[in-house]
Structure 1
């Protein structure tokens, strides 16, 4: 059994049977490549079916020695386990060497969030004198209004905007679709962008139905959205490390802290498991502090 052949079959399995996005598939394949790199340096020529538990334990040690964080180690091990599960399903192996492989224990990290004031400050910092200013304002309003992943934002289609009904249709992970309410403020900024900046672009053929475009009339990259947000954070000297995903975290946290039903938030975020959504039930620290001061007998 050869690695390249096994990887190709695994890639097709992830694409056709698991319906994963290209980015997710690339991440899983990268996990396998890390294992191949380790084996090439530390073990005599070994095929996928010859890998043993002791090899995998040494692989985890190797990741640790290279300074890979426990969270990244756990994600990589999950990818390796998925690969061997595929080989087992396909009958390529008769026993799974990852069955007894343990992942490092990691704490549950609460996501960073922005306050409403910080979101307003970021959006107000956008220079509307620049041609792309209105596009950037519409993007940030949409990110926060709908709680989108950055991949969902850059892929948002004009034909999926249902402003009369107050919804947008999102094509999420594994091609799953969901309807998400959109705020009147986001609608207003999107319409201003479409009537101005977008209308004056020479739009490329494959991007005609994509809402947010770059100056060349093509679909924006995810990296570009990261850069826009980073530059705005620097401009207002925001003392937080933020990304497009921070707007999604803030959307969910503000809804739950405001009393929204957890199931409704799960549906809007497109989470498969409500356990993923439950991370947003952490309470505002000021609220906790005030509660302690008000009700604790020794405060």
Structure 2
């Protein structure tokens, strides 16, 4: 089975700016950690947080895209679900990124139907359905679901119509079960699988954004923040032998033994949150 090696810098991209190493060195170090001989694609942006996406450092964004081009690596821009109050600002930000679309940034991953339609109608780039489209059960604490072979529920006749309508090129999945069978995937669709962590749940209220706020202003949905999530992560001890972490708004569990079936080639999208420079002594334990 052929694996296309990809790195996922989404939701931790700002952390890279704190490192003394060059972007090239960070890419090479992360690829080595993932066990990749080379990297074919980098994902940047956010899957889960509109505030993160809104406040991405444009200089860092340019540095990553420029270095990716120099290293002959393609780039995918990932857009989270955007609340209505921030929509116009995000669309302007996208317009600013459009200068990169004819270069190595050749693809956009979206996570809701509204943005799917907008990108299709306004930009000529490859288009992926992101991980938030996939609604399969994802909790290893329930073995009746987890210890089965998943055949994704999204593979339906309606999906075929959606792919044709919006000219969708790829779909992204999680390691939700002990095995995933993609034999029913639509013809021509590129499958991406996020490793080694599976996101289990995500919310609109960010725990990190409340850290420095007064008690009466804590735990508000979609509130502004100071990127507190870039300084630490939370690790949970579930006493089940797995690693559970919170990065930004999402909670993840590791699932390194999941088997991929029914497809001859897929993208392995490695999330380097285990990277030595990111997980360190500043982790909070719960």
TM interval, shorter chain, is under 0.3
- The structure whose residues are more often strand, as a share, is 2
- The structure that has the greater radius of gyration is 1
Q: How high is the TM-score relative to the length of structure 1?
A: 0.25
Tell which has more relative contact order, 1 or 2 (C-alpha 8 A, sep 6+).
2
| Structure whose residues are more often helix by fraction | 1
* TM-score computed with the length of structure 2 as normaliser: 0.26
